[in-house]
Amino acid sequence: MTTPKSQQLPAAIKKAANILAYSDNTRAKLIEKLRRAGYDADVCEAAADEMTAKGMLNEERMVIHAVEYMAEVKLFGRRRIYAELNKKGFSRQAVENCVPEVMDAIDFEEACLKLAKKQRFEHSEAGRMKLTRTLMRYGFGGDEIRYAMKNLKINWRAQSDPDECEDESDGEFLE
């Protein structure tokens, strides 16, 4: 026999508070954990609403922290950050409210350059392409990758003919 929903709500709120006291969770993750604990879907939603109203569940603060961490520590580019936020279950509203402002303050060209400097690669066409693919997997765009390559002084063309390699910024790749 299941307990009535009116009796489940106080228990679900207490459980939600315990979950959030242990670690931050997105709204979706909190609801998932409450569902696994055996609460009805509408009770889980109400408990999440209560946690939001009390300020214990603040996705916007979590989004800002996550973006800063991914950009500064993990050296992810814009695309990868958006993908990771989606994967972690942040609400679209929290992402749309916070991310553009936070990302405007981040220098992604310098982050791309910093990541490129950490990578080991051969100074050849194959090495350049491997580095390019790595930077793309990290979520950087063509302009950011060109900036990094230019500042690393990696030639755009194969280094077989030194006369061809003088111009390092002709932008042949990633167009």
Band (169; pLDDT cuts 50, 70, 90) = very low
**For residues 3 and 174, which has the higher predicted lDDT (pLDDT)?**
3
pLDDT, tens only, 88-121? 888 888 899 888 999 999 999 999 999 999 988 7
Q: Which long-range contacts (CB under 8 A, 24 or more apart) does 132-135 make?
A: 132/173, 132/174, 135/77
* Structural domain ending residue among the three candidates 77, 104, 131: 104
C-alpha–C-alpha distance, residues 112 and 70, integer Å: 12
| In a shared domain, residues 100 and 155 | no
* Structural domain ending residue among the three candidates 17, 36, 53: 53
| In a shared domain, residues 100 and 67 | yes
pLDDT, tens only, 43-86? 999 999 999 899 888 888 899 999 999 999 999 999 999 999 99
* Structural domain ending residue among the three candidates 74, 89, 104: 104
**Pair of tokens at residue 132:** 């390019």
Q: Using H for helix, E for strand and C for coil, what is the string for the chain? A: CCCCHHHHHHHHHHHHHHHHHHCCCCHHHHHHHHHHCCCCHHHHHHHHHHHHHCCCCCHHHHHHHHHHHHHHCCCCCHHHHHHHHHHHCCCHHHHHHHHHHHHHCCCHHHHHHHHHHHCCCCCCHHHHHHHHHHHHHCCCCHHHHHHHHHHCCCCCCCCCCCCCCCCCCCCCCCC
Domain hosting 36: range is: 5-53
Total tally of structural domains belonging to the chain: 3
pLDDT, tens only, 24-34? 888 888 999 99
Q: Helix 41-53 and helix 5-22: axis angle, to 10°?
A: 50
pTM flag (> 0.75): no
Report whether pLDDT(165) > 60: no
| In a shared domain, residues 156 and 98 | no
| In a shared domain, residues 82 and 136 | no
| In a shared domain, residues 76 and 44 | no
Residue 115 CB contacts under 8 Å (≥ 6 apart), including other chains: 75, 135, 138, 140, 148
| In a shared domain, residues 91 and 148 | no
